[in-house]
Amino acid sequence: DVNQDRDDMILPSKAAILNKIRWALSEKKTLKNEALQKQINIKNEDKEKAIFFENAGGAQVPQSCIDYMTASLQCRHRSVIGTQSKAAARETARVILGAADEDAVVFGANATVLLASLAQRYVQQKLLCATDEVVISTENHKANFDPWIAAALQVGATVKLWTPSLMQQPQNLPSTSNYQRSASLHELITPQTRIVAIPHASNILGNLEPVAFLSGIIKSRSRGRAHIVVDGVAAVPHIFPGFNESLGNIDWYVVSMHKLFGPHLGVLVGRRGQAMEQLSVATQESFLSSLESGTVNIEGCAGVVGLGVYFRSLARFYHTSTNGRDDIKLQLRTSLTGENVVEEPGHRTLITSGDVVSLDDVKLAYSMIRRVEIRLTNFLIQGLGRSQFVRILGCPLSNSSLPCHEEQSTLLVRLPTVSFLHDTISSQEIYRFCKDRGIICRHGLFLCTEFFAADFGLENNPDGLLRVSLSHYNTVEEISELFNVLDSIPGWHGRD
């Protein structure tokens, strides 16, 4: 995010994160389970308080993930330990993302690199040509926008832009406004469509797209010719993606694990079928080698396995300690450190199939995460709405039945990523005011497309939006403290 204001790039040190974020809970005295309390790896020498509301930029990491990565670094044996770590990580990612055994799971540096490699693969294999059409959602992060624009320009393909949340035609369109634009996906998809690139959720609006429904439209109107590429980075920290169950007939799904409480590692899932076969790949292994250039980050792979252990910890703790009750925020925050998976450094070196989390545990963990986050999201949006000068982007509350655009056919799922503008106070001012009082949020445009910025009137707003992005380890008490800080900003409610 090189274009962000320099203050926006100031992040707390690792020690500050560990000491301040208060993963365990807001008041340590409320802990009752001593065994669980011992798992909380928080140092107490820094007493300054901080609250972390920038999870969309990168979530915090549970102790189980750290333990597995540390063990991998303490005993490096690439041909044995490295191979086993990579295999277990691939299987763990497959389970967490809900992919089938026959689907390809590819590792890369991050989602941006994987998407760029995939787009170039289409060019190199001549699967994208001048007679083709590329349809791209303007709600995409640039990572799923720029590579497809570049690929289309390389071969002379036609670019069409889907503007699902376009409320009115902007007066000042970007310089490349000669692209066909429509809020109706039906109008854009034809038998010449080769690529459709959409987000599972916007990292600004926080609205989950009905991907299964959209994939049906795309496959039908393109007569099965279009390949669907979905960016799941903003969605997977909050909902079970269910690549093989819930996303219809999409072809590619990409995530960055550092947004999903894990290490910096990208994962691309490819469906075994038309898209993969047309990339002239005979076997899944050769397809992997074509995109996984060089040595995969082995300690990152170990961290992915540790992330699976954390999901298992959440599932088991939810099942045994809460019995489905709503008052689980205290318990789940104590379990953020996962299990004591490495008893002594260096003693646990080999990762086995027994370390891989089960699909049932993943689904149960996600069920708990969603249950907690619905309450947090609604509380946040309702509180922000107390100021008549605040304009929240995106659809309203979680579980709303209001359609956000023409293709919305199901109940809206609102994720806990909330971006807003204040009529009289700049986003940078709000950010700095919060930062000075120990609340970490963020302002800017978050690598959105220029078309998205124009659609929402942000193209001439250097401060961008103020984004508050929650995760399941945040609490109502922390959000209440945010409200107290915002209420104290001069002019927040229009009063001096």
Residues linked to residue 229 through DSSP beta bridges, in sequence order: 197, 252
- Exposure string of 292-313, with b = 16+ CB inside 10 Å and e = fewer, is beeebbbbbbbbbbbbbbbbbb
Q: Where are the alpha helices (DSSP H) in 28-175?
A: 34-37, 63-74, 83-97, 111-124, 146-155
* pLDDT (tens digit per residue) in 159-202: 999 998 764 445 555 555 689 999 999 999 999 999 999 999 99
- DSSP-derived letter for residue 48 is -
- DSSP-derived letter for residue 201 is B
Q: Which two tokens stand for residue 183?
A: 């809020």
| pLDDT band for position 320 (cuts 50, 70, 90) | low
Instruction: With a cut of 70, say whether residue 127 has pLDDT above it.
Output: yes
Instruction: With a cut of 50, say whether residue 9 has pLDDT above it.
Output: no
In this predicted structure, what is the pLDDT of residue 278? 73
* pLDDT (tens digit per residue) in 420-440: 999 999 999 999 999 999 999
Instruction: With a cut of 60, say whether residue 289 has pLDDT above it.
Output: yes
- End-to-end Cα, the chain, rounded Å: 35
> With DSSP H G I counted as helix, E B as strand and the rest as coil, what are the percentages for the chain, rounded to 5?
40, 15, 45
User: Where do the DSSP E strands lie in 277-435?
Assistant: 390-392, 417-422
* pLDDT (tens digit per residue) in 441-472: 999 999 999 999 988 888 888 899 999 999 99
Mean pLDDT value across residues 196-224: 96
Mean pLDDT value across residues 340-346: 36
Q: How many CB atoms lie within 10 A of CB 46?
A: 15
In this predicted structure, what is the pLDDT of residue 178? 80
Q: What are phi and psi of 265, to 5 degrees?
A: -155, 130
In this predicted structure, what is the pLDDT of residue 295? 85
Instruction: With a cut of 80, say whether residue 28 has pLDDT above it.
Output: no
Is residue 300 a contact partner of residue 69, using CB atoms and an 8 Å limit? yes
Which has the higher per-residue pLDDT, 338 or 233?
Answer: 233
Instruction: With a cut of 80, say whether residue 476 has pLDDT above it.
Output: yes
Q: Give the full edge-to-edge strand order of the sheet including 417-422.
A: 390-392, 417-422, 465-469, 442-444
User: How far is it, in rounded angstroms, from Cα 136 to Cα 125?
Assistant: 21
Average model confidence (pLDDT) for the chain? Answer: 81
* pLDDT (tens digit per residue) in 259-268: 999 999 999 9
In this predicted structure, what is the pLDDT of residue 366? 95
User: How far is it, in rounded angstroms, from Cα 471 to Cα 329?
Assistant: 11
Is residue 356 a contact partner of residue 92, using CB atoms and an 8 Å limit? yes
Which has the higher per-residue pLDDT, 335 or 259?
Answer: 259
Instruction: With a cut of 80, say whether residue 324 has pLDDT above it.
Output: no
Mean pLDDT value across residues 214-233: 97
Please return the burial class of 54, using the count of CB atoms within 10 Å of its CB with bins 0-12, 13-18 and 19+. buried
User: How far is it, in rounded angstroms, from Cα 34 to Cα 28?
Assistant: 11
Instruction: With a cut of 90, say whether residue 7 has pLDDT above it.
Output: no
Which has the higher per-residue pLDDT, 421 or 48?
Answer: 421
In this predicted structure, what is the pLDDT of residue 489? 96
In this predicted structure, what is the pLDDT of residue 496? 54
